[in-house]
Amino acid sequence: MKQSVRYVVSNDQVQLAWAEIGRGPPLVKAATWLTHLQYDLDSPVWAHWVRFLGEHFRYIRYDERGCGMSDWNAGELALPRWVEDLETVIDAAGIDRPVALLGISQGAATAIRYAVRHPRRVSHLILYGGYAVGGLRDDDPARAALFRAVMEVAALGWGSDNPAFRRLFAERFVPEGSAEQLAWFNELCRRTTSSANAAALLQARGNIDVRDQLEQVRVPTLVLHAGRDQVAPLAQGRLLASRIPGARFIQLDSCNHVLLEHEPAWREFQDAVLSFTGLARRDARADAGSPARSAVLTARERAVLSLLCEGRSNAQIGWQLGIAEKTVRNHVSSLYRKLGVRSRAEAIVRVHGRRDAS
């Protein structure tokens, strides 16, 4: 799949970078921060999201104002402006049919506002890790205090050469991430926005409150939430599902705010989205015998697979590639799933087409 990146100018003259990949019914992701349209394609945190959604949809996403490839001179940072930006991107994409709308984290509030404003333009509303009320508006004083502390850390240390400040965010978003994934997320924070923007974006997030909008949603809605999410409490997901008429709620067994490819919750998320939108799975598992099957593996997974076929242990593979043994296990689990196999022997047979592998 090849990504196409374009720019569109917002109502207040901010340049927004947006991209599309894949074919199928349109699915648009309301922007979140900590994204970069190009950098995300090879990331161990976001690439599997892009790949899955691009395999099944005409997947359209954009970098939020102040982040990634969009203008860092962001203008106004507030929910009404984010909804306008979503409208601008959907119009620029020339979509002539209702879209499935994906709202992740703070993007859920944007997606909800858009769905209420344009119910005939939304076929499905999918909310993951979302919240109706930001940390500064929450009735829970502990959440509000933690949010203010995080804002202060961002203002003081986001652009620092010391990665410890940004690591706070990485470990909250993907606490079960490998060393490689945490390092990548830390670098993503540095690349995607400035200290000033990070602090301003957090302030705007903290003041989100769409509770009065929830009962006005009139489109089919699926709410998914990680049960041990450290960024958006589970109670927020339950609030969304309880207030949006007819919403279906699925609690996922994970603590990651961004689901990682190796965890079972990611597969459950995929199955739920496909079932909800009425699509059949179209990943390479359906053609597991094809020589092109390995094309869906990342470069790192192909390297692990090559060494695995040489009979190397996880420890040996980790030493040769310079990664932790836990990271190797994650890659092995991922490539087993993609190849449709359950063991090293089956993987070797799949790669070499031999029945005498042992």
Residues 173-200: tens digit of each pLDDT: 999 999 889 888 888 888 899 888 988 9
Residues 160-174: tens digit of each pLDDT: 767 777 777 788 899
Residues 96, 220, single domain; the answer is yes
Residue 321, domain CATH: 1.10.10.10
Residues 233, 348, single domain; the answer is no
Choose the final residue of a domain: 277, 307, 328: 277
| Domain range for 89 | 4-137+209-277
Residues 250, 338, single domain; the answer is no
Residues 75-111: tens digit of each pLDDT: 889 999 999 999 999 999 999 999 999 999 999 999 9
Q: Does the pLDDT of residue 282 top 70, yes or no?
A: no
Residues 103, 19, single domain; the answer is yes
Q: Does the pLDDT of residue 285 top 70, yes or no?
A: no
Question: What confidence score (pLDDT) does residue 296 get?
Answer: 67
- Coil, strand, or helix at residue 124? strand
Residues 67, 128, single domain; the answer is yes
Amino acid at the residue 358: S
* Assigned domain for 322 exists: yes
Please give the average per-residue pLDDT across 274-303, as a whole number. Answer: 63
* Assigned domain for 145 exists: no
Question: What confidence score (pLDDT) does residue 196 get?
Answer: 87
**Structural element, H or E, at residue 327:** helix 325-339
Residues 81, 17, single domain; the answer is yes
Q: Does the pLDDT of residue 327 top 60, yes or no?
A: yes
> For the chain, how many structural domains are there in total?
2
Worst-scoring range by mean pLDDT, 59-73, 113-127, 252-266, 287-301?
287-301
Alpha carbon distance 176, 178 (integer Å): 7
Burial of 30 (0-12, 13-18, 19+ CB in 10 A): buried
Residue 222, domain CATH: 3.40.50.1820
Please give the average per-residue pLDDT across 251-275, as a whole number. Answer: 95
Residues 222, 339, single domain; the answer is no
* Assigned domain for 22 exists: yes
Helix ranges (DSSP H) in 131-233: 141-157, 164-173, 179-192, 195-206
Which is more confident, 139 or 121? 121
Alpha carbon distance 42, 40 (integer Å): 6
Residues 129, 61, single domain; the answer is yes
Question: What confidence score (pLDDT) does residue 226 get?
Answer: 98
Q: Which residue has the tokens 């997606």?
A: 111
Residues 221, 326, single domain; the answer is no
- Coil, strand, or helix at residue 11? coil
pTM (whole model) above 0.75: yes
